[in-house]
Amino acid sequence: MTTTNETITIPLNKLDVDPLNVRKTHSAEGIKELAATIRADGYRLLQNIVVRKGDKKGRYFVTAGGRRRAALLLLAEAGEIAKDFPVECREREAEDATAISLTENLHEAMHPADQFEAFKAMADQGKPVADIAARFGTTEIIVNRRLALAKVSPVLMAAYRAEELSFEQLAAFTISDDHARQEEVWNGLQSWDRSAHTIKRQLTAEEVPGTDKRVAFIGGLAAYEAAGGPVRRDLFTEAGGYACDSGLLETLVLAKLESLAEPVKAEGWKWVEFAAKQPDNLYQLGRVYPQKVELSEADQAKLDQLSEEYDSLAELIEAGAADEDAEPRLAEVEKQIDALRDAEETYQAENLAKSGAILTLDYHGRLAIHRGLVRDEDRDAQGEPGEGEGDDIEATGETASKGAKLTHSATLIEDLTAQKTAALRVELANNPDIALVAVVHAMLLRVAYGSGLVSEQSALQISLTHERLEGSMKRPDDNRALAAWESIKENYGHKITGNPADLWEWCLDQSREELLNLLAFAAAHTVNAVEAKYTGDRKKAFIHADQIGQALNVDMRDYFTPTAESYFSHLNRQSIEAAVAEVRGADFASGVSAMKKAEAAAYAEKAVKDSGWLPAHIRIPPATPDEAESAEIHPFPVAAE
């Protein structure tokens, strides 16, 4: 160990954790990143470690710099530096240890916006993204995200610094480099409708997200891009970006559907159609069904042999004893088994001659082939549904045969359907995407079409109630929140299909993001914080309403201003005086009792103007006492009517 002025050099393996250091926990990821920055700077520390003498001779406690010590130990474990690597330190006395440690760990962290601009400055100097990532021990995607954030409009960045935008909102703007368009979108959105999703939707109104089922069908954005399609990148979502040329996307989808339709046409159908969107009348068409046929002895023997091979391979794979060729072989065997089993069913020639097939996309963007569809004109030409062979046309509500009829007792039907219900519950619980569709479907039936349709058209026993608020308001036509709510309802009213019978298929076609928006829209109908004359014991419900408001960061001043007309004229003079006293003091309010009611209300309106004061029952209180100290809306006493 050597001493140079106030700096001493201590071997790394002589430095110990200081029990007086106030920081007890370090992020493993953060230590890795710090180690990378030390490596990139030639294994030098930008700031000396502060130490005090340890309990044993020659050893020192690290009072300030525990993260730097941990990063150096990580480099030593990797063999990049010696275990006795010399570390420059500054020595302080033990009585100062806690204060020094606390001072170092209480400093304000760099604002994220400063980080974004610092990364951009390095990139502007010509440093490659890979080098910047290595320098700070992070990934290239993180660097690219920070660089994208740094390119957002300076106006919006200033708003972010002023905490007028959240990080999620700022990130949403990175999908566009057009500052003017970014600012136009932000300024054009209502305060209640500035979510990241809404911002992205406005900026990409004419584009198709990478999560769209059409994009998935053609092989993802990479396939679309390979065909010459321009992509707008989104670094902050799994979608990866947006297809800017929807026309090209449709062309690619239809081209692939057309190629897949060729083998279906070869099956002998009267007609074959294809479309990316499922036709509205799909389930109104008649149907014919295939007949069961016996496999030849050779095919049956082949099926038996393949089934045995499949079971053996699956057992080996499950036990971890299979070689690398097992899984590809299993997939090939499964394909051959499916082909043989398909051969066990066949359509009769006369039914092929009067029916067709439609190729379309399912909810997940996979190919769906609907065979045996019969148009009305073909069904009429061949006679009524159900006439002829056992595989003839079956239409909704009509029996497939006029011969013997299969009947079930009510008890058996209840048993069978109970078993089906149990299976549906299991499968739905394991498929959150379809569960989301089902819940949104049930809720929209209630809020968009009326209560009677929920039990008629949804298998879910979801009860949803909502009450109109106009009857509880004295001046509903002047209420800002009610006007905004009606605007939201109108927007969704134009979007949702007009026929409740089509709602399920319509919901299936929506993205998860859109379904979550619809869920929020439907759930919003049910919020009820109205303290009516006869509400019963709903105190906890009203507390929950405030908690929702706190979670949403609702500022009721955006929706209500106490004026003579909206509030004070509905109070008696004593209450008007109390309200003014809350804001301006008792002396200022002392003359109210001598005024006429209208004069007192006008006086109160001027007194509270620009004060931020709100009546108690319309406030959203701060979530915690600490927040209450800094909240702009102070906890004034109640001015009762």
Q: Which long-range contacts (CB under 8 A, 24 or more apart) does 255-260 make?
A: 256/217, 256/218, 257/359, 257/360, 257/367, 260/359, 260/367
Q: Residue 284 domain-assigned?
A: no
Q: Do 517 and 598 fall into the same domain?
A: no
Question: Going by DSSP bridges, is the β-strand pair 86-91/49-53 parallel, antiparallel, or unpaired?
Answer: parallel
Backbone angles phi, psi at 326, to 5 degrees: -65, -45
Q: Do 508 and 482 fall into the same domain?
A: yes
For residue 105, the Cα-to-chain-centroid distance in whole angstroms is 35
Using DSSP's 3-state secondary structure scheme, residue 243 falls into strand
Q: Residue 184 domain-assigned?
A: no
pLDDT digits (tens, 9 = 90+) for 213-249: 899 999 999 999 999 999 988 888 766 789 999 999 9
- As a whole number of angstroms, the distance between CA 465 and CA 404 comes to 47
Q: Do 614 and 589 fall into the same domain?
A: yes
Q: Residue 393 domain-assigned?
A: no
Mean pLDDT of 117-128: 86
pLDDT value at residue 132: 83
Q: Do 505 and 544 fall into the same domain?
A: no
Percent of the chain clearing pLDDT 70 (strictly above): 78
pLDDT value at residue 395: 42
CB 288 within 8 A of CB 374: yes
Question: Of 105, 130, 159, which one is at a domain's C-terminal end?
Answer: 105
- pLDDT bracket for residue 601 (50, 70, 90): confident
Q: Do 508 and 544 fall into the same domain?
A: no
- pLDDT bracket for residue 522 (50, 70, 90): confident
User: What pTM value is reported for the model?
Assistant: 0.47
DSSP 8-state secondary structure symbol assigned to residue 397: T
Flag whether pLDDT at 500 surpasses 60. yes
Q: Do 101 and 41 fall into the same domain?
A: yes
Backbone angles phi, psi at 104, to 5 degrees: -65, -35
pLDDT digits (tens, 9 = 90+) for 286-332: 888 888 888 888 888 998 899 888 888 888 887 888 888 888 888 89
- pLDDT bracket for residue 598 (50, 70, 90): confident
Q: Residue 77 domain-assigned?
A: yes
Q: Residue 467 domain-assigned?
A: yes
pLDDT value at residue 120: 86
SS3 content of the chain, % helix, strand, coil (to 5): 55, 10, 35
- As a whole number of angstroms, the distance between CA 363 and CA 511 comes to 9
CB 252 within 8 A of CB 218: yes
Q: Token pair 């089993």 is at which residue?
A: 341
CB 49 within 8 A of CB 36: no
Q: If you compute the radius of gyration of the chain from its CA atoms, what whole number of angstroms results? A: 35
Q: Do 549 and 580 fall into the same domain?
A: yes
Kindly report which listed range (55-69, 152-166, 350-364, 512-526) carries the lowest average pLDDT score.
512-526
Question: Of 76, 105, 134, which one is at a domain's C-terminal end?
Answer: 105
Q: Do 55 and 77 fall into the same domain?
A: yes
CB 375 within 8 A of CB 357: no
Using DSSP's 3-state secondary structure scheme, residue 51 falls into strand
- As a whole number of angstroms, the distance between CA 249 and CA 255 comes to 10
pLDDT value at residue 625: 46
Cα angle for residues 145, 150, 155 (degrees, 5° grid): 135
CB 299 within 8 A of CB 405: no
Q: Do 505 and 582 fall into the same domain?
A: no
572: containing domain = 540-630
- As a whole number of angstroms, the distance between CA 526 and CA 528 comes to 6
Q: Do 550 and 574 fall into the same domain?
A: yes
- pLDDT bracket for residue 564 (50, 70, 90): confident
Backbone dihedral region for residue 610 (phi beyond 0: left; psi -120 to 50: alpha; all else: beta): left
pLDDT value at residue 247: 92
What is the total count of domains within the chain?
A: 3
Percent of the chain clearing pLDDT 90 (strictly above): 20
- pLDDT bracket for residue 59 (50, 70, 90): very high
Q: How is residue 468 written in tokens?
A: 């109109």
Please give the mean pLDDT across all residues of the chain.
79
Q: How many CA atoms lie within 13 A of 202 on its CB side?
A: 22
Q: Residue 181 domain-assigned?
A: no
- pLDDT bracket for residue 2 (50, 70, 90): very low
How far apart, in Å, do the first and last CA atoms of the chain sit? 79
Q: How is residue 135 written in tokens?
A: 């320098």
Mean pLDDT of 40-63: 88
Q: Do 549 and 455 fall into the same domain?
A: no
CB 602 within 8 A of CB 564: yes
Question: Going by DSSP bridges, is the β-strand pair 367-374/286-287 parallel, antiparallel, or unpaired?
Answer: antiparallel
Q: How is residue 439 written in tokens?
A: 């819940």
Q: Residue 34 domain-assigned?
A: yes
Using DSSP's 3-state secondary structure scheme, residue 186 falls into helix
Q: Which long-range contacts (CB under 8 A, 24 or more apart) does 597-601 make?
A: 597/569, 597/573, 598/564, 598/569, 600/568, 600/573, 600/576, 601/564, 601/568, 601/569, 601/571, 601/576
- As a whole number of angstroms, the distance between CA 72 and CA 324 comes to 42
Question: Going by DSSP bridges, is the β-strand pair 7-11/2-4 parallel, antiparallel, or unpaired?
Answer: antiparallel
Q: Residue 477 domain-assigned?
A: yes
pLDDT value at residue 497: 73
Q: How is residue 301 written in tokens?
A: 């023997």
Q: Do 64 and 92 fall into the same domain?
A: yes
pLDDT value at residue 578: 87
